[in-house]
Amino acid sequence: MADKVSYKELGLVNTKEMFTKAMKGGYAVPAYNFNNMEQLQAILTGCAESSSPVILQVSSGARKYANQTLLRYMAMGGVQMVRAMGSNIPIALHLDHGDSFELAKSCIDTGFSSVMIDKSGVPFDENVKVTKQVVEYAREHDVSVEAELGVLAGIEDDVKHEASHYTRPEEVEEFVKRTGVDSLAISIGTSHGAYKFKVKPGEQPPPLRFDILEEVEKRIPGFPIVLHGSSSVMPEFVDMINKFGGQLKDTAGVSEDQLRRAARSAVCKVNIDSDGRLAVTAVIRKCFGEDPKNFDPRGYLGPAREALKKVIIHKNEKVLGSAGKG
Ligand SMILES: [Zn+2]
């Protein structure tokens, strides 16, 4: 068991002030997932260079892949790196899709500044009960808590649902009141992974259900809303992957126009993971295709990291509006 440590000692912040500012400013804070050093460097330097607040996310898959203790120290090193660059952007370390009180507690005890407890797949009262338990523990440590109502389709590491069901606006008020949660992820048509919608080539994916979002906003005015599964599945990277031997067919994401509209609303946090995965994979494939003799990982991880950094800056500047707000 790792020693107990507060995120405050690590130079991290919780998401409360980030969301208050995002709500007032009509933008959304980006939440990017990381599993390794290159992703962490790209996310943090991209956010520092565009002066954006940032939420670093660790999923259960990341914990299995890279080890929770190592990830925590990496985040801590990341904060130091950013400060050495002369940047003071706020950085939160967030547990993505925590599935139990015990896991949320262990993250709070080891330096996370924010946790998600995702009980969206169980009945409402059970969701309320576990979320409330996490909120009570998090309060003692000034850690922020995100919960979810409604189910997103798609696959993200261990989180997998065949079908989605939209958030029921009539449930949100009671849920927020009974749990005391700080932010709420809702399901309005976004989806996890690179295959978000079943569309035929040339067809547009269905628009997000802004009517549900508006109904939610009416019932809990000024309350921070979170969108998961919000990658655009950027075609330039899908094309690059396929050009260099990959086989990604019929991919589809959420259009950047839709995300821009969401970011101006009560949506304060937007989760983007797949676009980063695609950028890294595309550039690595291109490097292998163009220079088959290279066997130095820096020769392909370096350019992949640079491409990911450009994606981060693009999202912050052109989609979420968070650039310049850090
Ligand atoms: Zn998610």
The alpha carbon dihedral of 199, 276, 46, 305 has a sign of negative
Q: In sequence order, what DSSP letters do the residues of 21-85 get, joined into one string?
A: HHHHHT--EEEEE--SHHHHHHHHHHHHHTT--EEEEE-HHHHHHH-HHHHHHHHHHHHHHHHHT
pLDDT digits (tens, 9 = 90+) for 231-268: 999 999 999 999 999 999 888 899 999 999 999 999 99
Confidence at residue 165, expressed as pLDDT on a 0 to 100 scale = 87
Confidence at residue 251, expressed as pLDDT on a 0 to 100 scale = 87
- Report the pLDDT averaged over residues 98-126: 96
Answer whether 70's CB lies under 8 Å from 64's CB: no
pLDDT digits (tens, 9 = 90+) for 4-60: 899 999 999 999 999 999 999 999 999 999 999 999 999 999 999 999 999 999 998
Instruction: For residue 325, give the DSSP letter.
Output: -
Confidence at residue 193, expressed as pLDDT on a 0 to 100 scale = 87
Q: Is 146 left (phi over 0), alpha (psi -120 to 50) or beta?
A: beta
Ligand 1 mean position to 229 CA, how many Å? 6
Ligand 1 mean position to 273 CA, how many Å? 9
Higher pLDDT, 26 or 68: 26
Side chain identity at residue 97, one-letter code: H
Q: Is 96 considered catalytic here?
A: yes
Ligand 1 mean position to 156 CA, how many Å? 7
| Catalytic choice (3, 96, 142, 291) | 96
Ligand 1 mean position to 292 CA, how many Å? 36
CB neighbourhood size of 53 (10 A): 23
Tell me which of 67-71, 236-240, 320-324 is least confident. Answer: 67-71
pLDDT digits (tens, 9 = 90+) for 170-228: 999 999 999 999 999 999 999 888 877 777 766 777 889 999 999 999 999 999 999 99
Percentage of the chain with pLDDT > 90? 84
Q: In sequence order, what DSSP letters do the residues of 166-186 get, joined into one string?
A: ---HHHHHHHHHHH--SEEEE
Show the tokens assigned to 24.
Answer: 């007032």
Q: How far is CA 177 from the centre of its chain?
A: 25
Confidence at residue 2, expressed as pLDDT on a 0 to 100 scale = 57
State how far the Cα of 179 lies from the Cα of 311, in Å rounded to an integer. Answer: 36
3-state secondary structure of 114: strand
Q: How far is CA 72 from the centre of its chain?
A: 17
Ligand 1 mean position to 192 CA, how many Å? 6
pLDDT digits (tens, 9 = 90+) for 75-109: 999 999 999 999 999 999 999 999 999 999 999 99
Tell me which of 108-122, 144-158, 189-203 is least confident. Answer: 189-203
Confidence at residue 223, expressed as pLDDT on a 0 to 100 scale = 98
